[in-house]
Chains A and B, each alone.
Chain A
Amino acid sequence: MKHLSRGLLAVSALALTTAFAEAKTFVYCSEASPEGFDPSPYTAGTTFDASGHPIYNRLTEFKKGTTEVEPGLAESWEVSEDGTEYTFKLRQGVKFHSNDGFTPTRDFNADDVIFSFQRQGDPDHPWHQYIPGITYEYYTSMDMPNLVKSVEKIDDYTVKFTLNRPEAPFLANIAMPFASIVSKEYADTLEAAGTKEDLNNMPIGTGPFRFVAYQKDAVIRYQKNADYWGTAPLIDDLIFAITPDSSVRLQKLKAGECHLMPYPSPADLESIRADDSLKLDEQPGLNVGYLAYNTTVAPFDNPKVRKALNMAVNKQAIIDAVFQGAAEPAKNPIPPTMWSYNDAVEDDSYDPEAAKAMLEEEGVTNLSMNIWAMPVQRPYMPNARRTAELMQEDLSKVGVDAQIVSYEWGEYLSKSMEAGRDGAVILGWTGDNGDPDNFLSVLLSCDSAQEGGANRAFWCNEEFSDLLQQAKVTSDQAERTKLYEEAQVIFKEQAPWLTIAHSTQYVPMRSDVTGFVMSPLGDYTFETVDLAE
């Protein structure tokens, strides 16, 4: 009966076509189903859009529309001199949601924080494996198990994290969805009822929206959290209509069946701009597409050869043909929207003549090489095969014979990290948390050049890696900026990659949608949206 009355409420509430209904319902045509509703065990952006962002909060949060860290469930924090102790003062009076089987009897406090981190970090914690086979890949891949020494409760509203080493990106790391705070009281209730898996099915958080229902692969329903500690959402009901095909999403948007959609096909941008009932927001994405040489194999171990090859490729042609103009040429490994981006760095100019001369000077003639084209589409690389073909053409003009190879995606990822790999690899990266370390260390440090890392150039430059290490243990952002700027200069001189492009992100929506803020991290969040009357 409860379901039914809520359903009737939703019916009377829905204001898709009638603008003057009492309650406002916002429909988002999402592109895929969430893996689950507990954000910690999962890694997909669609899962975080459906769980971490609407339902939960974290100790720190990213300020809307930026990658700056601001207080979330922690009101303030102090960092010890040596950068290894973080003491968080928690916000008081924050209420958890309730659902049919659970009504919280207390506000959010330190116990919830301890529970949320320990269940991920401690393999013996009773909730570590609350669903058989569950793992915490984000927690692991952000190196949290080695980083966090302990999480202690000082009092009900004070928590202290002790780290094994200073780590400047720590505050940004815990603003990521995997570090969402779940309710310990809810977990206890579920444990007593023997339905632990409901932590993942019927989530309870402190976020701007309360979870109502999920019908697998079809619809997710949320309701505004009236007791939200922050600025309450302007809409009353939020619905995710799961629509995997981008052309169908656009048709739904045009027909008014939803208000906003992610990932339009580049080919549809024209028709979206031409439609009066729609509008299109855009911003540079926090990503980079690149071609990584194998810097351990001759002649690609010679920076001058790499530079010459970089100069032989016409990037603008790739951006026009492959990205349909929806990208900007990349010169640095980090995107221009990221702090510490070094705009003073000059890109290798497109100059086939000079490139040819340089190759000859280095004694490289009749060079043949492989270009690896990834088999999947990614925001940072809409069509790797086409990109590789354009490169192949450009390289032939300087006397380099390039062959294109490709593998199934999983194999592509693993084979491209095999030592002694033959050829240069097209790949890319989308930032997790807006910290430059999340690009530079992950993709280009000496550590990541080993098996299991992501440094597909196998490029290990001590000077560069030392700069990154210094920046990692420095908490002063101005100082870190300097270090990263210097690192980018070394990167450009050494040219382990041909930096291709930073693609633009587009969000089409109905023209009556107001207040949507695009996230540089590619998140879709709706607590600020509204529908104009």
Chain B
Amino acid sequence: MVRFLLSKLLYLIPTFLGITIVAFGFVRILPGDPVLLMAGERGVSPERHAELSAQLGFDKPVVMQYLDFLWRLLQGDLGNSLVTKKPVLAEFLALFPATVELGICAILIATLVGVPVGVLAAIKRGSWFDQVSMTSALVGFSMPIFWWGLLLIIFFSGILDWTPVSGRISLMYYFPQVTGFMLIDSLLSGQEGAFTSAVSHLILPSIVLATIPLAVIARQTRSAMLEVMGEDYVRTARAKGMPRRRVIGVHALRNAMIPVITTIGLQIGVLIAGAILTETIFSWPGIGKWMIDSIARRDYPVVQSGLLLIAGMVMVVNLLVDLTYGLINPRIRAS
């Protein structure tokens, strides 16, 4: 297991270097110059432009800029935002918990609903349940998130008045941030009703963010289950007279879970992409909205370091997924 872990970790080093190049290159490939964007309609004189570019280090050759970025990175310095002038890491840490909280809720919903639906659809293949759930999955997968979010707000918040429109907690509650996770902080605050308020604010954005992963997980579970149920060992188990529940729950599901877990792991990337839109609609102060604003302003340090942090996080999650395979399937560990 240790060797397995080490070999996986070793892969991370070239991957990480590759990501630094992509993250650094990405914003620079985009047309647009942060200095010009800052000046706007007013314009900026060539002298002032040169002065500001030099101050920001953009006058150096790109390779030098990259090496500079890498050198600082190794010292733990992710740079300062061109817009707010604040350290990128501090901004990331302030916003990250909000995205994690939303992401965890979304992936929980997607998994807890998606896996059982997929299993049921597989068992009752061809039934109305199978038809309805798989059609809904297709619709969910193709749903434009922005439109879907607005629709839910208008229906549940506007017409039914069941949930708040946006934000993380009612403005009535005000307490210092301890962990950055609103569910935990609201409990710690001891203020009556704060936790309930935080939960009610989480419902709609979590559903919106969970929609696409839920559809993917349900479909993946269904097809994996169908495949496994056709295997010889499942037939043998049933022929032995083993109860159906045990055959499905232990023999089939456990093996079907391997591709499903891969899918769930891959959904982390999808979640980040979805978070950009979800956070914008629900005024959710997370890193998705932060990235999109920074790209629009060509805030190079934020985009490159932000991408790096997000990519690093996705890498860690994928590593954890790989390790989970090892736990579920000893054959992977051995190879």
Contact = CB atoms under 8 A, between A and B. Distances in A.
A244 to B, nearest CB: 6
A80 interface: no
A14 B36 CA distance: 43
A239 B171 contact: yes
A194 B40 CA distance: 34
Interface in A29-49: 33, 35-36, 41, 43
A442 interface: yes
Interface string B36-75: 1111111111111100100110000000000000000000
Interface stretch (B16-24, B208-216, B220-228, B281-289): B281-289
A413 B40 contact: yes
A413 B158 contact: no
Interface string A181-203: 00000000000000001001000
Nearest to B51: A135
Contact of A7 (B45, B52, B165, B173): B173
26 contacts: A10-B172, A10-B174, A33-B293, A35-B83, A131-B85, A133-B80, A133-B82, A135-B52, A197-B86, A215-B285, A216-B91, A216-B95, A216-B285, A217-B95, A241-B171, A243-B283, A248-B153, A248-B165, A248-B281, A255-B157, A255-B165, A257-B167, A410-B33, A452-B48, A453-B43, A454-B43
A10 B83 CA distance: 31
> What 7 pairs between A and B have smallest CB-CB spacing?
A452-B45, A410-B32, A217-B285, A7-B174, A218-B285, A408-B31, A454-B43
Contacts of B172: 10-11, 14, 16
Contacts of B195: none
Interface string A411-434: 101100100000000011100000
A135 B51 CA distance: 11
A36 B285 contact: no
Contact of B39 (A41, A137, A243): A137
A452 B166 contact: no
B283 to A, nearest CB: 4
B41 A427 contact: yes
A43 B174 contact: no
Contacts of B219: none
Interface in B265-292: 280-283, 285-286, 289-290
Given A135-B55, A244-B289, A451 B45 contact: yes
B200 to A, nearest CB: 12
A217 B293 CA distance: 11
A53 B33 CA distance: 30
Contacts of A241: 167, 171, 283
A135 B177 CA distance: 31
Residue from B36, B56, B173, B280 with most neighbouring chain A CB atoms (10 Å): B36
Interface string A1-32: 00110111011001010000000010100000
Contact of B158 (A215, A216, A255, A417): A255
Contacts of A242: 283, 285
Given A217-B289, A408-B30, 15 more contacts: A4-B176, A4-B189, A7-B189, A41-B85, A132-B80, A221-B174, A239-B171, A242-B285, A243-B167, A248-B153, A251-B153, A255-B157, A255-B165, A410-B32, A448-B43
A141 interface: yes
B44 A410 contact: no
A465 to B, nearest CB: 17
A35 B171 CA distance: 22
A140 B39 CA distance: 11
A407 interface: yes
Interface of A: 3-4, 6-8, 10-11, 14, 16, 25, 27, 33, 35-36, 41, 43, 131-135, 137, 140-141, 197, 200, 213, 215-219, 221, 239, 241-245, 247-248, 251-252, 254-255, 257, 407-411, 413-414, 417, 427-429, 442, 448, 451-454
Interface residues of B, number: 61
Nearest to A131: B85
A36 B85 contact: yes
Contacts of B36: 410-411, 413-414
A235 to B, nearest CB: 14
Contacts of A219: 167, 171
B138 to A, nearest CB: 27
Contacts of B166: 243, 248, 251-252, 257
A216 B39 CA distance: 24
Contact of B38 (A43, A218, A427, A451): A43
A197 B80 CA distance: 13
Interface in B133-175: 150, 153-154, 157-158, 161, 164-168, 171-175
